[in-house]
Amino acid sequence: DDLLRIEGVSKTYKGGVVALHPVDLAIRRGEIFALLGPNGAGKTTLISIVCGIVVPSAGRILVDGEDAVVNYRQVRRRVGLVPQELSTDAFESVLATVTFSRRLFGRSGHSAYIEELLRDLSLWDKRDAKIKDLSGGMKRRVLIAKALAHEPDLLFLDEPSAGVDVSLRRDMWKLVHRLRERGVTIILTTHYIEEAEEMADRVGVISRGKLLLVDDKAALMKKLGKRELDLTLVEPLAAVPTELAEWHPTIENGGHTLRYVFDATEERTGIPSFLRRLGELGIAFKDLETSKSSLEDIFVDLVGDAK
Ligand code: ADP
Ligand code: MG
């Protein structure tokens, strides 16, 4: 049951920057979907198009089968966006700001919904505080409250933990799960693999304006978990010792180096057990390096060079 369908949506900015090659994507009702990709991949562009902020160069967007351009007003009120930048009206109170956002969409200002929303976001006690006096984490909650004020079905969160302290990130992750319990379908963008892993049901990997693959989180994490470790040895080996080859089949001998390809999601075959094994066999090494370290490398590894 698809709530949102993105069909052949592309974007070339003025000046010829191709931010997005044609993207096809269907979002299921009630899911949390993470758009995972490095900076400049086109994540913000894609969600800005769906939210009606950026004009697409081509393609269609359908919410519940309704064309987002033809039925702009109806569709727009079903969508809420929490932007990447933490800017909002600093001198207004929390309650005034959130109520205003609700009225913009033609809903009544005073409502039990707003109180419940602010309580849910732990903002009710701060409803009369000026936004400028709140912490960074609280400000982001205000932006979430604003985005949800008009009771949308679809919530877009652009980099929800960018600029959020690592210790506060977990709170954000829990909050996103609570928002889903309110019945909201959530699409978030992130450049952190662990964030996609914590939050999403499904993940779309995007790089250089191309949606490279879409998969269930568990399946994707298994793929992302494949890493390579290169060891520089003290003494070259003529061959991989039988004991080591039997222990794990993906160890290649390059004379002065050993390359170990392993699944980082499996405890038994991780780097610590490999190094312990080498110790037991008396194989000494000078240096070690995981060769698939950056997101970009991992993407290329997953889907081939997308250039
Ligand atoms: P992400 O959110 O994944 O970091 P963006 O969607 O912000 O990526 O950007 C994708 C590409 O489009 C980048 O190369 C960026 O520089 C370019 N871009 C974004 N916004 C504009 C704009 N308003 N004008 C021109 N180029 C832009
Ligand atoms: Mg962005």
Q: Span 226-303: which CATH code?
A: 3.30.70
Please give the number of the atom of ligand 1 that sits closest to the Cα of 158: 2
What is the distance in A from the centroid of ligand 2 to the CA of 158?
A: 7
In the chain, what are the domain boundaries? 2-222, 226-303
Radius of gyration, alpha carbons of the chain: 24
Domain 2-222: CATH superfamily, name plus number:
P-loop containing nucleotide triphosphate hydrolases (3.40.50.300)
Task: Give the span between the Cα atoms of 307 and 297, in whole angstroms.
Answer: 13
The structure's pTM equals 0.78
Give the tens place of pLDDT for each residue, 153-192. Answer: 999 999 988 777 666 777 788 888 888 888 899 999 998 7
pLDDT at 306: 43
What residues are paired with 32 via a beta bridge?
186
Bridge pairing between strands 66-67 and 58-63? antiparallel
pLDDT at 25: 98
What is the distance in A from the centroid of ligand 2 to the CA of 19?
A: 11
Residue nearest to atom 10 of ligand 1 (CA): 42
pLDDT < 50 stretches in the chain: 292-294, 305-307
Quick one: which ligand is closest to 16's CA?
Answer: 1
pLDDT at 267: 58
pLDDT at 75: 85
Give the tens place of pLDDT for each residue, 6-18. Answer: 999 999 999 999 9
Quick one: which ligand is closest to 38's CA?
Answer: 1
ipTM here: 0.99
Closest CA to 123 of 145, 107, 104, 103: 145
pLDDT at 72: 83
Closest CA to 115 of 127, 101, 128, 100: 127
Give the tens place of pLDDT for each residue, 17-26. Answer: 999 999 999 9
What is the distance in A from the centroid of ligand 1 to the CA of 42?
A: 6
pLDDT at 62: 95
pLDDT at 29: 96
